[in-house]
Amino acid sequence: MSLGKIRAKIDRIDFEILDRLNERLELVLRTRRLKPEVRDTEREKDIFSRLKSRAAGSSVLRGDFVETLWSRIIQESRRLQARPLELIGFQGEHGAFGEAAARCFNPNLVTIPCLQFSDVFEGVESGQLDFGIVPVENSLAGPVTMVNEMLVEAPLKVVGAVRHRVSHCLLALPGTKFDDVKSVYSHPQALSQCRDFLARHDLEGLPYYDTAGAAKMLASERPKRGAVIADRPCARLYNLAVIEAGIEDHPLNITRFLVVARQKREEAGSKHSIIFSTPHRAGSLFAVLKLFADSNINLTRIESFPCRSAPRSYAFFLDFQASLERRELGQILDKVKEVTAMFKYLGSYNEEVSQ
């Protein structure tokens, strides 16, 4: 192995160490509310003992070096846990569109990646996360039914929303030429949103669980003649090159995200969201909509989706915009409750638009 190849491998390992260290610190932050004190001396002793035992099998790692290194890591972990940081969970890896939307909602929050949408909801419900951000609809693909169903069942409030423009890039390993690429990995929705581009260049689309996750995989596994469709920040995060930008088939590709929390925010917004189902009789949906029309309230979204808890029944996700006094809003919603079979007020909030 040449010096250049050895150094390139060392560089990749350095990035992997940084990524894993970042992941460790994120997990440490999630433990804050699961233990009475920031410092757990017995846990620290156990860590040192296990690591030094593991290092004993190495001919180059010394036990005192391992203890010094991990002492600094644990010190930084305690420092982070002591700070009043707020965490927001998103589905996917760092660099995902959900993370970009989270930064638009509040750039001061610590973004925490979650594998599944259910992990976002569970993290908020358990108190490990202060907020979660989830996509509810896309201008091209329509509603995200799975998330809407979770909003029905989760005991959470909507405290914010973000409309995020989605722009896809073709990313590859540094030095890759466009003609070298044959296979493109990405989330199925991203592949479908770039279908014309892929067909035009005779590229094979291979589904992956997340756009940013595909970028992370490309950087670590380095598949031959591979590329990914992901957001531009993934190029910087995973040391990839932008082969081509703006490859989506339709430029007006907007995903709307909702921010959820356990408690509603004190400052109310002009946007409101409710979920309801109606009795199985003619005119029941009309009766609900008429209440809003009679109150001169503008509806900005209405979607239907199947109820998992009631086969052959549908629930409706409704957004409306109104700057009302709390008493006046309560009176209208009380009337809605009277004509619905199931009703849930998700919350009032403001909606941001990412640039």
Q: What are the tens digits of pLDDT across the range 212-234?
A: 999 999 999 999 999 999 999 99
Q: How far apart are CA 186 and CA 96, in angstroms?
A: 11
Torsional sign, CA 27, 33, 34, 39: positive
DSSP H helical ranges for 276-325: 284-294
pTM: 0.87
Q: Give yes or no for residue 186 having a pLDDT over 90.
A: yes
Q: Is the domain of 298 the same as that of 323?
A: yes
Domain boundary among 189, 215, 245: 245
Q: Give pLDDT tens digits for 30-69.
A: 988 777 777 778 888 888 888 888 888 888 888 889 889 9
- Rounded to whole angstroms, the Cα distance separating 159 from 262 reads 9
User: In whole angstroms, how far apart are CA 160 and each of 63, 84, 132, 330?
Assistant: 49, 21, 10, 20
136 vs 343: CA distance, rounded Å: 19
C-alpha closest to that of 246 among 225, 226, 230: 230
Which residues partner with 170 through β-bridges? 229, 244
Answer yes or no: do 343 and 281 share one domain: yes
Q: How far is CA 226 from CA 55, 96, 184, 186, 203, in A?
A: 36, 19, 6, 11, 10
Q: Is the pLDDT of residue 310 over 70?
A: no
pLDDT at position 323: 77
Span 299-308, average pLDDT: 85
Q: Which has more pLDDT, 265 or 182? A: 182
- The two beta strands, 87-91 and 110-114, are parallel
Structural domains of the chain, count: 3
Same domain, 194 and 239: yes
Claim to verify: residue 263 and residue 348 sit in the same structural domain: yes
Q: How far apart are CA 251 and CA 260, in angstroms?
A: 28
End-to-end CA distance of the chain: give it in Å, rounded: 46
Q: Which residues are identified as catalytic?
A: 255, 257
175-183 mean pLDDT: 95
- Residues 236, 217, single domain; the answer is yes
Tokens representing 95 are: 């660099």
Residues 63 and 101 in one domain: no
Of the two residues 107 and 252, the one the predictor is more confident about is 107
CA distance 240 to 208: 17
Question: At residue 108, does pLDDT exceed 70?
Answer: yes
Domain CATH number, residue 263? 3.40.190.10
* Rg of the chain, C-alpha, whole Å: 24
| Cα atoms in the 13 Å half-sphere on the side-chain side of 161 | 22
> Which two tokens mark 289?
């909509």
Residue type, 203: L
Q: Look at residue 154 and tell me whether its pLDDT is greater than 90.
A: yes
Instruction: Domain of residue 144: give its range.
Output: 87-165+254-353
- From CA 259, how far away is CA 55, in angstroms rounded? 44
Give the end of a domain, one of 58, 82, 106. Answer: 82
Which of 280, 281, 273 has its CA nearest to residue 344?
Answer: 273
The Cα–Cα gap between 329 and 347 comes to: 12
Any idea what the CATH number is for the domain that residue 20 is in?
1.20.59.10
CB-based contacts of 92: which residues, under 8 Å, 6+ apart? 98, 99, 113, 114, 210, 211, 212, 213
If asked whether residues 268 and 301 sit together in one domain, one would say yes
Model pLDDT, residue 218: 96
Instruction: Give the pLDDT score at 270.
Output: 85
Of 245, 266, 284, which marks where a domain is finished?
245
pLDDT tier for residue 264 given thresholds of 50, 70 and 90: confident
Collect all residues with Cβ–Cβ distance below 8 Å to 332 and sequence separation of at least 6. 291, 292, 295, 297, 324
Residue 64 is predicted with a pLDDT of 86
